[in-house]
Chains A and B, each alone.
Chain A
Amino acid sequence: MTNLNRRTFLSVAALATATATLAACGNNGTPGSGAAAGDYAAPPKDISAELTYAIWGAAQKPFLQESIDEFNKEYPNIKISIDVTPSKGGAYWTKIQTLASSNTLPDVFWMNGPKIKLYAQNDQLLPLDGIVAAKAVDLANYPQGLVDLYTVDGKVYGIPKDYDSSAIFYSKSLVAAAGVPEPTADWTWEDLKKHSVELSKFYEGKGIHGVTADLTGGQTSYYNTILGAGGVVITKDGKKSGYDSPEAIEGVQFWRDLIEAGASPSMQQITETYSADLFRSGKAAITMEASYEAGATFEAMGDDVKVVPLPKGPVSNQSVIHGLANVIPANSKNPDAARAFVAFLAGKKAAELQSASGQVISAFKGTQQAWVDALPGMGAQAFLDAAESASPYPASKNSGAWGKYEQDLLPPAFAGTKPVADSAKELATKMNEALAQEA
């Protein structure tokens, strides 16, 4: 009998645990009352809360910890712990999405451009307009393109933390040895094509190319040239693909032309060796790259690397701007403490700590000089100038659905195994289908 009792006890205990787990999964946390109304007033200084701040950049943890220490001078009873999950291999987003499904999102976490609409339009995020209305954050302090990226259906869901924009990098010595003029801020697409062909000719047989860029993704390459030709990847309302427009096709064709002319390594070479690595190891004289590679490139090449703005296309030399934002989940248990922390991170003090680290460009205007100074003589100011006129990173509610089509359908266009116009139109068709699914 005692055995039986014990078994009953065990199974009941197990069942109870399982039920509790299931119940936790199904529990739809109710949003904080103050947050639901959207109003915000700085909470009293003695408010106490425990917050988790989820990020994916381990290298940024030290200066974020400094920010937390500063924040705690103001709010000593808000305890914040940083939770780092690497983004490599999708670990961070897999985790965040799982946490979102079970309503256990961290109190404050990093958001990126391709995902913001997915989370905002599925009601996973707390609108932060209250902080703006209360003048705790002034959106004029951040590049407009970045603010637009995190404004969904007229509401602000994320306060920009940092950003990256693109520019031309070139090797002074490789360009000079070939007797080719150094790139300048006034270069057009034609200048770039002409001179990179010259460079490739000069270095023929040495495995050195005139120009390269990462064509396995669009941020530093075709997204910018599509803008340069006057096209868009996705319409402003995020509902239609822009790939079938003549302008977008011209922007994609630009890269096919460079490859065909031998100015650029082939699509296969760029797939097998990251373009920034090709450039840093002296296998390409010029590259278009984002500011996030500036530090590593400067470290590898020192005085030899210079940066100038992107070349002018038929319409502009616009760059896309991408950057992270801090967001708060819709069902936050501590909306006031979390918003106070986000407001602090959005402020000048936190931005200065960030810039001084040399890791990333702070989104807060006027605090970026420290980052530029960390790369002396490189001309890194070009990235800040590019950010002023930049266009938001193309995104929709479910960017991943059509991002996959870009990755599948554009390589044959760059490689020349399929005409660019055909690839672009097929991409537009599939992308529109995916976008129609989002509604």
Chain B
Amino acid sequence: MSRVLTAPPKAAVPPRDPSEKAVRRRSIKRDGIWPWVFIGPTVFGMGLFYVWPVLQTFYYSFTKWGVFGGSKFIGIENYVRLLSDSEIPQSLLNTALYTAIVLLGIPIAMVLSALMETPGMKLAGFYRTLYFIPYITMPAAVGIVWRLIFNGDFGPINWFLSLFGIQGPYWTSTPGFALVAVALVGLWMSMGFNLIIMGAGMREIPREMYEAAEMDGASRLRQFFSITVPLLTPSIFFVSVLTVIGGFQLFDLLYIMMGKSNLAMPQTQSLVYIFYNQAFLQNDKGYAAAIGILILAVIAILTFIQFRVQKRWVNYV
């Protein structure tokens, strides 16, 4: 999926020799089993580890699932409960807010990337590496460190604020602030990946466009908004789709930064967090499966909408 979307626009494909085409068509027939052998392991793996569990989860969502196995079909009871569960709407809102904040990382990544791609920029690779490190670090490790950084009494952030006479809040345990704190870390973590995609997108923009704009007297800022942004829309679209999917799967950061018992939890917990609680703490796996299906549905709908709306604003070169 990602490869299809990121595939750079094909640079001038040399015209094909007509005979070559014929050879290709014939070879497809002659390939016989080999294509299947090559994609077989992937299809098998995907089927076994992705598709099959999804189907199973769908089935379990209609059952009362015993702690040690043994399920009882109970129809749509779990879904009825889902509708009346007061925790669900709030956590849906929490998850949406979190995702919205992480999406702010995209404009930031565009600006940073534009600066890094400036011709003659020194140490661009160094900066790129620097920004990429958080992305490849374990979220659990990131969470532990940021939990300390946000600590209300001893954290460097509140120490810094105190220099200006501001008494910082208890970031990770105050309703409202906790969500922002977790989302800021999520944004920070996503930056490296966003930069890589944006950078690649920018390098695909033909230099001549900028040269022409410069001849016409366009300023750097004007160039950014009139050339870079429109031609970067495929990358922006791609990153925002992935960010929304990732945002709705928020769990590990939240779990590590908040701790198990937290005053701010009702205003911070995500859908996946509730799923985890039901499945592994409260041992109600059938209901947890229903929550899992809800998460899947929400992500599917949002992604569908994004693909629909993209036709209006994404410019493919």
Contacts and interface: CB of A to CB of B under 8 A. Distances in A.
Interface of A: 3-4, 6-7, 10, 14, 18, 89-90, 93-94, 97, 100-102, 118, 122, 124, 207, 215-217, 266-269, 271-273, 283, 398, 400-401, 403-404, 406-408, 410-412, 415, 417, 434
A3 B263 contact: no
A412 B282 CA distance: 21
Contacts of A273: 151, 153-154
Interface in B268-292: 277, 280-284
Contacts of A6: 33
B224 interface: no
B68 A268 contact: no
Nearest to B171: A272
Please report whether the interface of chain A is mostly helix, strand, loop or mixed according to DSSP.
helix
B307 interface: no
A357 B312 CA distance: 69
B137 interface: no
B67 A398 contact: yes
B67 A14 contact: no
Given A101-B68, A207-B153, A401-B282, A217 B261 contact: yes
Nearest to A214: B261
Contacts of B33: 3-4, 6-7
Interface string B142-176: 00000100111110000000000000001011100
Given A97-B68, A122-B68, A272-B173, A401 B261 contact: no
Please report whether the interface of chain B is mostly helix, strand, loop or mixed according to DSSP.
loop
B73 interface: no
Nearest to B150: A272
A331 B283 CA distance: 22
B42 interface: no
Given A97-B68, A269-B170, A400 B283 contact: yes
Report which residue of A398, A410, A434 has the largest number of chain B beta carbons within 10 angstroms of its beta carbon: A398
Interface string B34-48: 001000100010001
The 10 residue pairs across chains A and B that have the minimum distance between CB atoms: A407-B261, A216-B261, A268-B170, A268-B173, A101-B69, A271-B173, A411-B263, A401-B282, A400-B281, A3-B33
Interface of B: 32-33, 36, 40, 44, 48, 66-69, 140, 147, 150-154, 170, 172-174, 255, 259-263, 265-266, 277, 280-284
B269 to A, nearest CB: 9
29 contacts: A7-B36, A10-B40, A89-B255, A101-B68, A101-B69, A122-B67, A124-B68, A207-B153, A215-B261, A216-B262, A267-B263, A268-B152, A268-B170, A269-B152, A269-B170, A271-B259, A272-B151, A272-B172, A273-B154, A400-B283, A401-B281, A401-B284, A403-B281, A404-B277, A407-B260, A407-B261, A407-B265, A411-B265, A417-B263
Nearest to B152: A272
B260 A415 contact: no
Given A118-B283, A267-B173, A404-B277, 20 more contacts: A3-B33, A18-B48, A89-B255, A97-B68, A118-B67, A216-B262, A217-B261, A268-B263, A269-B152, A271-B172, A271-B261, A272-B151, A272-B152, A398-B282, A398-B283, A408-B261, A408-B266, A411-B261, A412-B263, A415-B263
